[in-house]
Amino acid sequence: MQKFIRRFQTDQSGSVAVVTAIGLFSILGLVALGLDISHLIEVRAELQRAADAGALAGARGLYPDVINLASFSSPPNCGQAYYRSRATVARNIVDGAAPGFDAVSVQTGTWDYGAKTFVPSCNTLTNTVQVRVQKLGINMLFARIFGITQLNCDATSTAVMDWVKGLGPGTLPIAVNEDYAKSGNVEKITFNPATSDVGGWFAVPPGDSTSASTLNDYIDTGSCPPIKVGDIIDLSNGVVESVLKNLKNRLAEHGGTWDTALPVVDSTQFNENKPVKGFLIFRITEVSAHGNDKYVSGIPLGLGMGPGAAIPGGSNYGVLAPPKLVK
């Protein structure tokens, strides 16, 4: 009997099958759990796309579709932003279906660029839309063996539409005095050193100066460097006839009117270095390059959309940056 017991205690036949079964069960469980995790990652990405789209659409909805002088005094439209955010999210598919009304929350507010925080509000300073989209009860297929039948997931996105703080390369070499930035009246830039001047040439130091070659290069090739609020630019009043002739030809190529974003400065002499205070949309309507009276004539538009490369977060001189995600 003792011999039989010792034999039983030392006999390992069949143990490999047991270990294999346990290992196979564990591996299958991990593979199954990996499939559910992949599904969660996919749902999370779909939620984020829906939230991003809703936030961008909502931020754009803060202002009218057609931005013009007549709408300059209009405050941000929180109701329109709210509606467009929800409508945009509803056009997305998350886990096989469009998010329901209860799955979407939208807030308008103000974005603090320094602290990178969002403060809910609806007033004249409102520049931000924050959207949260959630998906409740995501069914787990294989994780059920671990007792997990459903999980929840959500995504949040924040977008701003604000006054332009900076422009990418390619600005035309004309700066405008801030006293005339929002007038909406036809203004004539004569490039003469007089207190009546409303604008003048500019270049971006230290690499560039207001020479004819630099100014023409800015016009012909869009070589003006990116500029932002606070940057120092070199102002000049010189008539520079060759530059005016070049600008006149370019205006004709644009069909006789040319809407362009220009830097705003606090200067009436335009023979000094000054910081950029903001940007405005200036509609060039005429360039006179011959005779004694040489000038650029145009209209400072009260409200306009800056180019796609515009950076938000500047002062209100009437130019809005396209909506951008900030969080």
In this structure, are strands 324-325 and 174-177 parallel, antiparallel, or unpaired? unpaired
Same domain, 149 and 239: no
Q: What are the pLDDT digits (tens) for 47-85? A: 999 999 999 999 999 988 766 544 455 679 999 999 999
Residues 6 or more apart in contact with residue 295 via CB below 8 angstroms = 188, 189, 190, 191, 286, 287, 288
Same domain, 177 and 294: yes
3-state helix, strand, coil in the chain (%, to 5): 30, 30, 40
Same domain, 242 and 127: no
Percentage of the chain with pLDDT > 90? 57
**281 and 274 Cβ atoms separated by less than 8 Å:** no
Same domain, 171 and 304: yes
**265 and 177 Cβ atoms separated by less than 8 Å:** yes
For tokens 């300059």, name the residue: 72
**Residue 201, pLDDT score:** 94
Q: What is the mean pLDDT of residues 161-185?
A: 87
More confident residue, 191 or 111: 111
Same domain, 130 and 173: no
> Measured between alpha carbons, how far is 57 from 47 in angstroms, rounded to an integer?
15
Domain assignment of residue 116, yes or no: yes
Average pLDDT of every residue of the chain: 85
Burial class (CB in 10 A: 0-12, 13-18, 19+), 32: middle
Decide which of 161, 184, 216 is a domain's last residue. Answer: 161
User: What's the CA angle centered on 166, arms 163 and 168, to 5 degrees?
Assistant: 130
Domain assignment of residue 240, yes or no: yes
> Long-range contacts of range 252-261, CB-CB < 8 Å, 24 or more positions apart?
256/285, 257/283, 257/284, 257/285, 258/283, 258/284, 259/283, 259/284, 259/301, 259/304, 260/171, 260/172, 260/284, 261/164, 261/167, 261/171, 261/304, 261/306, 261/307, 261/310, 261/319
Q: Is the pLDDT of residue 126 over 90?
A: yes
Q: What is the mean pLDDT of residues 174-183?
A: 81
Q: What is the mean pLDDT of residues 41-52?
A: 96
**Residue 71, pLDDT score:** 45
Structure tokens at 127: 């520049």
CA atoms within 13 A on the CB side of 164: 30
Q: What are the pLDDT digits (tens) for 298-309? A: 988 877 788 888
**279 and 174 Cβ atoms separated by less than 8 Å:** no
> Measured between alpha carbons, how far is 209 from 2 in angstroms, rounded to an integer?
105
Same domain, 173 and 298: yes
Q: What is the mean pLDDT of residues 298-325?
A: 87
Beta-bridge partner residues of 305: 320
More confident residue, 20 or 3: 3
| Single-letter code of the amino acid located at 53 | A
DSSP string, 273-310: EEE--EEEEEEEEEEE-SSS--EEEEEEESSEEPPTTP
Decide which of 146, 161, 176 is a domain's last residue. Answer: 161
Domain assignment of residue 96, yes or no: yes
Decide which of 161, 194, 211 is a domain's last residue. Answer: 161
**325 and 167 Cβ atoms separated by less than 8 Å:** no
Domain containing 203 equals 166-325
Please choose, from the candidates 207, 180, 185, 183, the residue with its C-alpha nearest in 3D space to the C-alpha of residue 270.
180
> Measured between alpha carbons, how far is 259 from 318 in angstroms, rounded to an integer?
13
Q: How many domains are contained in the chain? A: 2
**Residue 105, pLDDT score:** 97
Banded pLDDT at 197 (limits 50, 70, 90): confident
